[in-house]
Each structure stands twice: as structure tokens, then as C-alpha cells.
Amino acid sequence: MTIKNNTHDHHHHEENCTHDHHHHGEGCNHEHHHHGEGCTHDHHHDDPSKYTRHLYSQSETLSFKNMDMDNLIESVNRLLEQEEFGKSVPILETLKDKLQNLVDTGNQSEEILRNLTETNHNLALSYGIIGEHNNSLPLWKSVIEKLIVDSEIDEILEAHYNAALSAEQARDLNEFIAYLNNGLEVAKANNAELWEATFEHELGVYAFDNQDYTTATTKFNRAIELSTKLDDLEGLVSSNFYLGHTFENQNNYAKAKELYEKALNIAKHEDIRDEVTHERALVEERLSIINKTQLQKKLQDF
């Protein structure tokens, strides 16, 4: 029996998020790019227990360790399909140990190696979803190495993106930037323009946070260029908002207002209106602040 890759569309659960990007992990305060297909950061789950590590009893833990491989895989596949990530993680850890032990003792059949790769991938993603980014990050290097050999380009780029998110939340900024830059290069080399826009936007956000507004402007403009070409409306909302904020922070209120209004108009499009309510609120807030600032200045000048 083969373990399924059931977590590819989950990039870190919202409850661990304070970033206004599409969302991931504590300590964040900005608007990330929404990648579109395969990227479902904005989960609104109503059962937080699914996204917290489940503590099994000693007898339950022992039963998992004694379970044969097929039944263990069946159990974890079922939990992953139900998005029971908190319950899945301890079983995935047990499965990983069992498979690694087989490999270490000479059983390197194609099925065992494939199951180990899929288990590591599911575990890396599940750690991120439940907010255990320090556990997630060490797995990503080996996962990406395997994916580069065996997988489709979208899966490889998604792994780079998820690895970057885990690195950021683990406070490892060197790894964060490395995964974003590597992902960008892979995207460019494979003409994956939607992912290229995503990585450009994320690098722009990093530059913005570090007050490197020249780099931020370049990155956001490139993301906007690609998103326009691809008609990626959600990407256009995010990148125009952030480019506007970049100009606002440099006191260029006229340009900032122009970009905010552009983002707001796109956010009202019926195809994405319901998906970008949060982003729309952010844009409206910035526009309100600029309008108040300009009104106060006029009154003072008067």
C-alpha cells in the first residue's frame, strides 16, 4: 500500500497566522501573494483541534508502533483525507521511523523509498499546518531533493514555497530567502510564470519589511507585470496593494492612492470578490488614512 500525498493544497493553517498574506504562522504582519491553484492558505476551519498536535495515550501509541505497515498507511491516509492533521502527525512520525529503519537495514525497494518520500512530504506539510515550523523545516531539504528527481514542476515549486514559509516562521531568514530565490530561479527556468509572480511578490514583501523600497518596487512591478499577463486578479490585488504601501511609506501619497484605488477596483471584480474581502478591507483602510492625512494638510494650509 502506498501513502497518498493528501496535504499538497494546505500551506499552513490560519490559526497560527497573523500575517495578512495568504496566511501562515505567528509573527507575520503583511500581505502575501495568493498563488491561485494549489494554494489554499485561507482555510477557515471550524474545528481547531484538527490543527493542534493530538496526544495519543500510551496504549494507542504502542498500537501504532505494533501495527503492520499497510494498516498504518491506511490509518494515516484516512486521517489526512479528513484534514485531521493534528492526529496525523504522531502517526506519520511513527511511519517515518518504521520506513527509515527498513531503509537503514537494507530494504531499499522502490515502494519503501517512495513511501518514505511521501511520508516525509506529508509530515513536512502537516508540521507546517499545525504550526510546528521548527520540525517542518529540516524535512524540506530532503523532500525537495527527491521531488526534483521525480516530480512535476508545480509540485517542486510548491515545496519551495512551503519550505520558505516554514523557514520564515522558524525565524531562519537565511533559509527563507534561499528558498524564495531558488524557487524563483526554478520558476524562471521552467517558464512557470504564476509561480514566478508569487516568488517575486514574496521577495518584494521581504524587501518592504526591511525598508529596501527600491528592491520592493522592482519586485512588485515584476509581479504585477506577470499577474496582468496571466489575468491573476488576486495576485494583482496583493501586489498593487503592497506597491501602494511602498509609495505611501516614501510619502508619495498620490501614487499610493492611485495604486490602492486600482487594487480596490480589482478586488470588487465578481470573480474574486468573496476571496479578497480581507485584502479589500486593508486597501480601504490605507485609502481612508491617506484621505484623512490629505484633508488635514488642506485644513492646515488653509
Which tens digit of pLDDT belongs to each residue from 226-240? 999 999 999 999 999
Which tens digit of pLDDT belongs to each residue from 182-208? 999 999 999 999 999 999 999 999 999
Hey, is 83 helix, strand or coil?
coil
Question: 7 and 141 in one domain?
Answer: yes
Where residue 299 falls among pLDDT bands split at 50, 70, 90? confident
Q: Domain with 227 in it: what CATH number? A: 1.25.40.10
94 domain-assigned: yes
The helix (run of H) or strand (run of E) holding residue 284 is helix 277-301
171 domain-assigned: no
Where residue 38 falls among pLDDT bands split at 50, 70, 90? very low
Is the pLDDT confidence value at 36 over 70?
no
182 domain-assigned: no
Which tens digit of pLDDT belongs to each residue from 113-167? 999 999 999 999 999 999 999 999 999 999 999 999 888 999 999 999 999 999 9
Where residue 294 falls among pLDDT bands split at 50, 70, 90? confident
Buried b (16+ CB within 10 A) or exposed e, 266-276: bbeeeebeebb
185 domain-assigned: no
Range of the domain at 292: 191-302
Boundary residue ending a domain (150, 178, 213): 150
Boundary residue ending a domain (99, 131, 150): 150
Question: 278 and 209 in one domain?
Answer: yes
172 domain-assigned: no
